[in-house]
Structure 1
Amino acid sequence: MNPIIDGILVMEGGYTLNPKDKGGETNWGITEATARAHGYTGEMINLTRSEAFSILEEDYWIKPGFDKISTLSYPIAFELCDAAVNIGPHYPCMWLQRWLNALNREEKSYQDIKTDGKIGPQTLAALNHFLTLRGNQGEAVLVRALNCSQGAYYLDITEKNKQNEEFIYGWMNARVT
């Protein structure tokens, strides 16, 4: 079992269909499009927690590389995975890379890394260097930094699409912690 995915399933809850949600029908945080991409053919309301767990773990934990991040920092891996479930993994991966570059003291701590939205050996090495240098306090700072980026993202998409005003309070309350 993966306690991060379990926690996200609790936060996501069950079935929803809000006409203002561009994701359409969702169950356990899984959109219909994502479920169908995984071969699910049933009604969305019948998607089981177990099926959702498998999809979340594959698409929002293993594929983006957050499982590898978790070996270095559970809180950072949780933050990245939680954001990815809500908005897709690309942006959270980019935020991590951008923050690692911004926090490397003009490359005195470690070299800048490519901000390509893919967690690979360079990103993992930079994160390891950062955490070795900054310890628990650095870990907490990086989680806060990621939350800042996530909040800014929600504000940006809400300003671009007023229908998101329906959701921004909940996003800020539940996702930006």
Structure 2
Amino acid sequence: MTIEAMIEATIGKEGGYSNHPADRGGPTRWGITEHVARRNGYKGDMRDLPRETAVAIYRQEYAIRPGFAAVAEISPAVGEELFDTGVNMGQAVPARWFQMALNGLNDGGKLYADIGEDGDIGPATLNAFRAYRKARGAEADTVMLKALNAMQGARYIELARGRPANEAFLYGWLRTRVA
């Protein structure tokens, strides 16, 4: 899957403008929060954030910079999952989960060495992912997606339990974000 296809799929889930009172992200358009838009130089009203500006932000901030585009070059499905979760939860969260899963799925270091769980998807993480896929074969991506979705679903429930206002979003998060 290309970066453009990942972005299109996510924009389709995020929709247009929203400013839900329970959403700590504040005004959002195309899934881009006001804070992220401002950090990327957008100065206008969030209701007017151009789609092409959102696409450019997604490409750089949520695909290339955190390394999810590099993962997608190895496995489009896993890259897309990391990208989509990063948009919804922040890029470091799924990056750390990915590293945690790689470490947990290496059979105690027999298949490949443990890697740092720092949320930085660099050469060591990408090499571990390649080794994981080679060792685990055809089911590797399916199992990795299950691991990532299990952690994501658990995190959504934790968020709703820890902040009752998040219960307004829990059903939708589980319905649209957890495969």
- Asked if these proteins are the same fold (TM beyond 0.5), I'd say yes
Partner of 1:59: 61
Structure 2: distance between partners of 1:110 and 1:173: 34
Which of 77, 80, 85 aligns to 1:78? It is 80
Structure 1 stretches (4+) deviating beyond 4 angstroms? none
Q: TM-score, normalised by structure 1?
A: 0.98
Shift of 1:134: 1.5
Alpha-carbon distance between aligned partners in 2 of 1:120 and 1:36, rounded to the nearest angstrom: 27
User: Which one of 159, 162, 165 corresponds to residue 161 of structure 2?
Assistant: 159
Which among 107, 110, 117 is matched to residue 112 of structure 2?
110
Q: CA deviation at 1:10?
A: 1.0
The number of residue pairs the alignment matches comes to 177
Q: Partner amino acid for 1:15?
A: Y
Tell me the equivalent position of 2:177: 175
Structural RMSD (CA): 0.8
Deviations 1:65-110 (A, max 9, x none): 1111111100000000000000101110000000000000011100
Among 24, 27, 42, the alignment partner of 1:25 is 27
Which amino acid is the alignment partner of residue 161 of structure 2?
A: E
Shift of 1:135: 2.4
Structure 2 residue 52 is the aligned partner of structure 1 residue 50 = yes
Measure, in 1, the Cα distance between the counterparts of 2:138 and 2:121. Answer: 21
Which consecutive residues of structure 2, in runs of 5 or more, have no partner in the other structure?
none
Paired letter, 2:112: Y
Deviation at 1:136, TM superposition (A): 2.8
For 1:166 and 1:133, locate their aligned partners in 2 and report how far apart those are by CA, in whole Å.
41
Gap runs ≥5 in structure 1: none
